[in-house]
Amino acid sequence: MENTQLNTTLRQAVEQIRRDIPRFGDLYPHNGDGMTYVLTENNHWMTSFWLGQLWLAYAITGEDIFRAEAQRRLASFDHRLVNRIDESHDLGFLYTLSARAQWQMTGDPAARQLGIDAADRLITRFHPKGEYIQAWGVMNDPVEGGRMIVDCLMNLPLLFWASYESGDPKYGDIATKHARTTLRYLVRDGNRTYHTFFFNQDTGEPIGGKTAQGFADDSLWSRGQAWAIYGFALAAEWTDEPAFLDIACRLAEQFWKELGDDLIPLWDFRVPPDGPQKRDSSAGAIAACGMFKLATIVQDAALATGFKTHAEQMTRSLTQSCFETSPEAWGLLRDSSYNVAANRAVEQFMPFGDYYYLESLVMMSGKTVDFWGKASLRPVEGT
């Protein structure tokens, strides 16, 4: 995208977000439904992606309307943490794009404390025997107690950040252990991922990989691979562990090879010809952000250029094929698929698709607004 085109796209995205402020009222977008969204209370894992879009819009424009709208919603995130509403490993997504983002953008100490409080809750989900963070369900649930999932890599940045802010290494230590377990069990064949993996939660013995949202246990759910690219890249940035950087690069190269000519991922790269040939543009947006991040942390200049070029090509394709500019539309990115296997929100707007698409545009513009990694941290007082 030429700079003028990119600026136009960013401006159009910001206007779409501005139009959504009165539409959403006090509620949050959940599944896309045609040109609109199903709106809910702050009671599911995706709600912070709306705040993330508001913070990015504020970073792009400096306009107070976006800051104020994100800021006024933080009380609702405080309420859900205290009341443990729909608590899961997704505390990471939820409090990175609400509490950490607000602290980063405004220096509000209450937001910083809320982010650390959320990290305190998240580490209670760690199983020391298997060295993994339990994804879903109440702790030690007979089934879910033994499950970790690949998406959780994107919840770890809250823990790394909490150690940075608090000076207490316990959060980052747990995040590092979980990332190592993910590398050992959720990565297979050197460059592909399982969606979820089970352990015997009493002994920590590994059992095996299982899908939840993919086509089959041994298929390749594209959004899972995308979460792993970005998540391992961020783990590499926070820890400097070469194994995390190496695997993030290999997963990214594999993702690129799986794409067709239009560069928009299928929801599962191993769906057979007689299975549902549905797209998941959100996987493309997340993978593009992961590749932009990789381009900033790999040492090799040619590798960095390659990742940046692929990320730009994917972002351009998303703009051409999936960016929605109609003033009637409530979302930014068409053709995200929440769960094709369960026929839930297939080729619709999804809040995480919208968020990561906007983040990929911001990364492409060269602006540094990093809510996940280390690129735009506030200095810790006294250092």
- Residues marked as catalytic: 90, 151
Q: Minimum distance from CB of 30 to ligand GLY (Å)? A: 12
Geometric angle at alpha carbon 21, from 16 and 23, rounded to 5°: 90
Indicate the residue among 338 and 357 with the shorter CB distance to ligand GLY.
338
Indicate the residue among 66 and 93 with the shorter CB distance to ligand GLY.
93
Regarding 195 and contact with ligand GLY (CB under 6 A), the answer is: no
Q: Minimum distance from CB of 12 to ligand GLY (Å)? A: 26
Indicate the residue among 151 and 370 with the shorter CB distance to ligand GLY.
151
Indicate the residue among 69 and 90 with the shorter CB distance to ligand GLY.
90
Indicate the residue among 291 and 297 with the shorter CB distance to ligand GLY.
291
Contact flags string 320-359 toward ligand GLY, x per CB under 6 A: ------------------x---------------------
Q: Minimum distance from CB of 37 to ligand GLY (Å)? A: 16
Q: Minimum distance from CB of 225 to ligand GLY (Å)? A: 11
SS3 of the chain: CCHHHHHHHHHHHHHHHHHHHHHHCCCEEEEEECCEEEEECCCCCCCHHHHHHHHHHHHHHCCHHHHHHHHHCHHHHHHHHHCCCCCCCCHHHHHHHHHHHHHHHHCCHHHHHHHHHHHHHHHHHEECCCCEECCCCCCCCCCHHHEEEHHHHHHHHHHHHHHHHHCCCHHHHHHHHHHHHHHHHHEECCCEECCEEEECCCCCCEEEEECCCCCCCCCCEHHHHHHHHHHHHHHHHHHCCHHHHHHHHHHHHHHHHHCCCCCCCECECCCCCCCCCCECHHHHHHHHHHHHHHHHHCCCHHHHHHHHHHHHHHHHHHHHHHECCCCCCCCCECCECCECCCCECCCECCHHHHHHHHHHHHHHHCCCCCCCCCCCCCCCCCC
Residue nearest to ligand GLY as judged by C-beta position: 151
CA–CA distances in Å: residue 322 to residues 290, 331, 354: 19, 11, 10
Indicate the residue among 111 and 286 with the shorter CB distance to ligand GLY.
286
Q: Minimum distance from CB of 223 to ligand GLY (Å)? A: 5
Site for ligand GLY in 49-78 (CB under 6 A): none
Contact flags string 208-247 toward ligand GLY, x per CB under 6 A: -----x---------x------------------------
State the Cα–Cα distance between residues 285 and 287, nearest whole angstrom: 6
Considering CB under 6 A, how many residues would be counted as binding ligand GLY?
A: 4
Q: Minimum distance from CB of 221 to ligand GLY (Å)? A: 9
Q: Minimum distance from CB of 204 to ligand GLY (Å)? A: 24
Site for ligand GLY in 136-165 (CB under 6 A): 151
Geometric angle at alpha carbon 51, from 355 and 33, rounded to 5°: 60
| Residue 5 neighbours by CB under 8 Å, 6+ apart | none
Residue 260 buriedness (CB in 10 A; 0-12 / 13-18 / 19+)? exposed
Indicate the residue among 66 and 338 with the shorter CB distance to ligand GLY.
338
Residues forming the site for ligand GLY (CB under 6 A): 151, 213, 223, 338
